[in-house]
Amino acid sequence: MNASELHSKQIKEHAKRLGFLSCGISKAGFLEDEAPRLEQWLAQGHHGSMTYMERNFDKRLDPTKLVPGAKSVVSLLYNYYPSAKQSDKEAPKLSKYAYGKDYHFVVKEKLKELMHSIEEEIGEVSGRAFVDSAPVLDKAWAAKGGLGWLGKHTNLISKKTGSFFFIAELIIDLPLEADTPVTDHCGSCTACIDACPTDAIIAPYQVDGSKCISHFTIELKDAIPQEVKGKFDNWAFGCDVCQDVCPWNRFSTPHQEPEFEPSPELMNLTKNDWHEITEVVFNRLFEKSAVQRTQFSGLQRNLQFLK
């Protein structure tokens, strides 16, 4: 076993010990296949109000421009599939990833631990850790590293665990043994396309982000357009429809992360409780939650739109 193979094996063992679902490795470099796709997606305005997607185009496609000297992209998956469900079936719905503590904090801590373990065992390694917070095409890198394929809803799907996981990366200056991509297993299934309440999946493997319920309820800062009134399927923050109907998510198993456990109070909010929520209650329930991203005023707007 050569040095790059040994180091790859050691990193994967540490990732497993820290609770990551899986770990895949790619050689850092220009994402040739992604460049025209990203360019076209932006040109068609499918990023909606997510103007930040227009910035750092070169860095999105080439991690060596983001992390000088980068040799490898270590992609990691972290499970967030919950065992708890909202008790009132008529209550406005919250995307599963936002039930507990904000994943940016939780997964970033794990990445710091992983980086520390790598340096302890291998020696000085330079690089940066990312959790959905920088111009990194995380789904593309995870697919390149063999962790799954991009489904028709453009989310990463793993045959073993479905798609309810966060994707994170270490981009480091250590040469590692690259993994090989896996094949697509969507076949003729169109469950996600058929189920999307706002027809945001405009074709297999193509999503118009500006039509997505997650975009409307989280990213959009203006008023929600009236033409989508009545199409939100009761989602107040985010949307899980395309993942909920995906056959591969029958393999999802509940996460083991205490920080992602939702408070019973949150899970037991009734429809009435949601529509009467005050700023004091909002701040208490969502103090360290990803829901803070939409702020109290944003959540109120979303809830009003559902009425």
The whole-angstrom separation of Cα 90 and Cα 252 is 24
Domain shared by 240 and 209, yes or no: yes
Structurally, how many domains does the chain consist of?
2
Average pLDDT, the chain: 95
Domain shared by 168 and 197, yes or no: no
Name 93's bridge partners. 235
Domain assignment present for 239 = yes
Residue type, 197: P
Domain shared by 202 and 164, yes or no: no
Tokens of 115: 């980086």
Predicted model pTM: 0.95
Helix, strand, or coil (residue 24):
strand
pLDDT of residue 57: 81
Q: Is the pLDDT of residue 263 over 90?
A: yes
Domain residues for 104? Answer: 3-85+96-172
Domain assignment present for 91 = no
Domain assignment present for 100 = yes
* Cβ atoms of residues 72 and 175 within 8 Å: yes
* Cβ atoms of residues 94 and 238 within 8 Å: yes
Domain shared by 160 and 53, yes or no: yes
pLDDT of residue 46: 80
For residue 72, give every residue at least 6 positions away whose Cβ sits within 8 Å of its Cβ, in sequence order, or none: 25, 26, 27, 28, 171, 172, 174, 175, 176, 178
Catalytic residues: 132
Domain shared by 8 and 137, yes or no: yes
For 41-61, the pLDDT digits (tens) are 888 888 777 777 877 788 888
